[in-house]
Every structure is written in C-alpha cells, then in structure tokens.
Amino acid sequence: MLTIAETGLAPLRALFAPHGLALVEVARGAAIPGSYWGEPEAGLVGDRLYVRADTPVHSVLHEGCHYLCMDAGRRRALVRDAGGDHAEENAVCYLQLALADRLPGVGRARMCADMDAWGYTFRLGSAARWYAEDAADAREWLVARGLL
C-alpha cells in the first residue's frame, strides 16, 4: 500500500487545509493519536489528522473525508470515532476515491487497489466496480452537501 513516506505530506496538506483540517506528522514508532483502527492508520482528533511516514495514503484520505463529511458539532467533539451512518460512510469512500485523482502519484485506480488490499468491502466485490456501477447514492449525498 502506498504510504506517506512515498507521497509526502505536502499534497495531502494542500488538499485538506482549505477545509480547516491540519495534518500532523508524528515520529516513526510514536503512537498515532486518535487512530480508530490502530497504527499505522491515521487518527482524527478535532481538526487534526495524525499520520506517520508508514501511514497508508488510503487511511489519510478516508479519515480526512470523514472530517469533510461531518458537521461542525461533530468535528468539535471528534476523538477517534468519526461516527456517521451508512450513507455517510459510502459518501466518505466515494469522496476518498474522487480526491485520489487530485494527488500526484496516487489516482483512483491505485486507491481502489489499496482499498481492496486493506479489506474495504463493497457489494460488487471491489472498490472500482462499486465506484463505477453502484455509488450513485454516495455521489448524490456529496452533491447535496456541496462536497462535489
């Protein structure tokens, strides 16, 4: 899986900073605050997204997209568990794939492969098929909230 060490933080910081989300890099071997899945996965606490060099890019995008999809009240109370319902989780996955195309050296195809390798599950068996054939509801959710 593609990691922060391979892509660098600058493109991800540029992607999320306009939305008030700051990426904070922790030292190799240090605990990642707010990691829902455990290290090396990214962690969310308030308006901070914690990562390490070995954090997978899919994890940074996923947690960052959770932040983008939640309202201000949830953001203020955010510690580790982004919450949200099934529709929001689908929207997060869709946005994660859409934003991957904005990152040099990442792209949607690579993000789909990494999501599949990590174990994201979709009704059609893969992230790519879900995005192409079964994600209209997720896209509509994002459009309705001005995120696409």
Which pLDDT score, from 0 to 100, does residue 55 have?
97
Q: What is the pLDDT of residues 65-74, one digit of tens each?
A: 999 999 988 8
Which pLDDT score, from 0 to 100, does residue 47 have?
95
Q: Are 26 and 50 in contact (CB under 8 A)?
A: yes
Q: Are 52 and 23 in contact (CB under 8 A)?
A: no
- Residue linked to tokens 């059609």: 124
Tell me the pTM: 0.93
Which pLDDT score, from 0 to 100, does residue 83 have?
79
- Residue 96 structural domain: 4-144
Residues 6+ apart with CB under 8 A from 107: 100, 101
Which pLDDT score, from 0 to 100, does residue 33 have?
96
Which pLDDT score, from 0 to 100, does residue 17 have?
97
pLDDT along the chain (148 residues), means of 10: 95 96 95 92 96 97 96 86 87 96 95 92 88 96 96
Cα-based distances in Å from 130 to 12, 14, 47, 120, 144: 24, 27, 29, 11, 20
Overall domain count for the chain = 1
Which helix (H) or strand (E) covers residue 50, if one does? Answer: strand 48-51
